[in-house]
Structure 1
Amino acid sequence: MNNSQQRGADRSSEPERPRARATDRSHARRAELIAIGRKLFADTSYDALSMDDIARHAGVAKGLIYYYFKSKRGYYLAIIEDSVADLVERAGSDTELPRVQRVHRTIDGYLRYAEHHQAAYRTIVSGGVGFDAEVHAIRDGVREAMIGTIAEGAYGRREIPPLARTALLGWLCSVEGITLDWIGPRSHKELERDTVRELLVRTLGETLRVIEEFEPGCPAPPREEL
């Protein structure tokens, strides 16, 4: 490469560093706004917070939120997606544990998330504001991730026959109903998380044994384990 080519290459590469730094700052600012939103919506419904309220709590101009998220709904969806990622990550952690222990930890992590992020959990499970196709899609993604995690813990693989998947989906829908009731104003004071976890583990064990009857290739863990 001659000198002029080298200078041209140097000049073309110079703007990349400032742009990269600006991009990093932009990502960090967006993540900060999402973290603030998660706290705001943790126990407050979508309709109860206006954009003015959000901006005031965040200590930013309302226009900054519109810049990153386009609308209140866009901001809300970004928060829900971030919450879902957290829920799925917690549920799928501890991969070094024995498989049955992982099932227990998955259910416990799920309940802990619902307990400490009640508004976000209700939104994920109920499908958002009215019939919101995007939030429904997020919810369905959570269900598939949870089914995969449970299947991997029970069978050592995520790919399972359709009947097994349908049965696990039915169990998971009951988990959602039980969890919603548990975090409600009355039940949450009456039932400890450990009790709810053991209830869900036991019902999962029964579901896995029914699956085995229909699909011998999906053997259930020993009864004393699950």
Structure 2
Amino acid sequence: MSDVPRVRLSPEERRAQLVATGVNFLADHTLDELTMDELARRAGVSRPLLFHYFETRQGMHLAVVTKARDSLLVSTAPRLDLEPGERIHDTLLRITEFVQQHRGTFYSLVRGVASGDPAVRRVVDESRELNAQRLLEAFIELGMPDTALLRVALRSWVAFAEESLISLAIDREAHADGVVRFLETALRAVVTSTRDLEV
């Protein structure tokens, strides 16, 4: 018996429904556990219909990961009405809260880079690049010079933050404020270390 009653939808609506069902699956499961059979069961559609929309399991995974990534990026977009320092704090707080509310989704995104599918890895990496770029823009506003070393440091810090969020916000269920303080302290240290160095 399916979780969702079958209704007539347009092709665009049906595909969106299938992708949303896949993203919801990630709340309690890893991406590797998302099979065509499981998605078909949850969406209340036939397995051949999934192949019509996604062609392969990898194509389905790519669509789901892309949607999950976009949801994270939209939910945590920097508030440009805030001063740069406040903006960074606010963004980190909202990212931490997103992670705590969507644990499985975030875990699948971060671990997606270990996927055997280069397209999935690329989607995850694009998210990291955008988050690093958002931080770069804030620090430039704060007076930091835009250097190659700063860009490397911020990109590295994003990966560090992802692992910290998994360990603290997910595994240990630490309070969001404490997680944010830790991330901010590490971020300041990383950025400060680039100020007087040349590579």
TM-score between both structures, scaled by the size of structure 1? 0.74
Question: Is residue 153 of structure 2 the alignment partner of residue 170 of structure 1?
Answer: no
**Distance between the aligned counterparts of 2:113 and 2:128, measured in 1?**
15
> 1:1-226 to 2 correspondence within 5 Å?
25-127=10-112, 130-156=115-141, 160-185=146-171, 187-188=172-173, 191-214=174-197
Q: Mark the CA change 1:42 to 1:129 in structure 2 (over 3 Å): closer, same or farther.
A: farther
Contact 2:27 / 2:104 at 8 angstroms: preserved in 1?
yes
User: Residues 37 and 127 of structure 1: is their aligned pair in 2 closer, same or farther, counting only changes over 3 Å?
Assistant: closer
Shift of 1:30: 1.4
Shift of 1:129: 6.0
% same residue? 26
User: Taking structure 1 as reference, are residues 54 and 104 closer, same or farther at Cα in structure 2, changes over 3 Å only?
Assistant: same
Question: For residues 139 and 56 of structure 1, what CA distance do their matches in structure 2 show?
Answer: 27
Asked whether the equivalents of residues 90 and 106 of structure 1 are also in contact (C-alpha less than 8 Å), the reply is: no
Give the Cα separation in 1 of the matches to 2:78 and 2:157: 21
Tell me: higher relative CO, structure 1 or 2? Use CA pairs within 8 A at least 6 residues apart. 2
Greater displacement, 176-185 / 81-90 = 176-185
Tell me if the contact between 1:91 and 1:146 (Cα under 8 Å) persists in the aligned partners.
no
Tell me if the contact between 1:103 and 1:154 (Cα under 8 Å) persists in the aligned partners: no
Question: Where does structure 2 lack aligned partners over 5 or more consecutive residues?
Answer: 1-8
Question: Hey, what's the Cα distance between the residues in 2 that align with 1:121 and 1:85?
Answer: 12
Deviations 1:111-160 (A, max 9, x none): 22222222332222223564332222112111110011111122239x93
1:19-61 per-residue CA deviation (whole Å, 9 max, x = no partner) reads: xxxxx93222211211111111222123434322211211122
Q: 1:129 to 1:207 in 2, by over 3 A?
A: closer
Describe the superposition over 1:169-198 as per-residue Cα deviations: whole angstroms up to 9, x where unpaired: 22222112211212444x12xx21111011
Structure 1 residue runs of 5 or longer lacking an equivalent are 1-23, 216-226
- Give the direction of change, closer, same or farther, for the CA distance of 1:143–1:48 in structure 2 (3 Å limit): closer
Q: Which amino acid aligns with 2:86?
A: Q
Q: For residue 194 of structure 2, what is the amino acid of its counterpart? A: I
Bigger Rg, which one = 1
| Counterpart code for 1:44 | H
Contact 1:88 1:142 in 2 (8 A): yes
Does the CA-based 8 Å contact 1:81-1:138 persist in structure 2?
yes
Report the CA distance between 1:212 and its aligned residue. Answer: 2.1
Structure 1 residue ranges (4+ consecutive) displaced by more than 4 angstroms after TM superposition: none
- Does structure 1 retain, via aligned residues, the 8 Å contact 2:99–2:169? yes
Partner of 1:182, secondary structure, is helix
CA RMSD of aligned residues (A): 2.3
- State how many pairs are aligned: 188
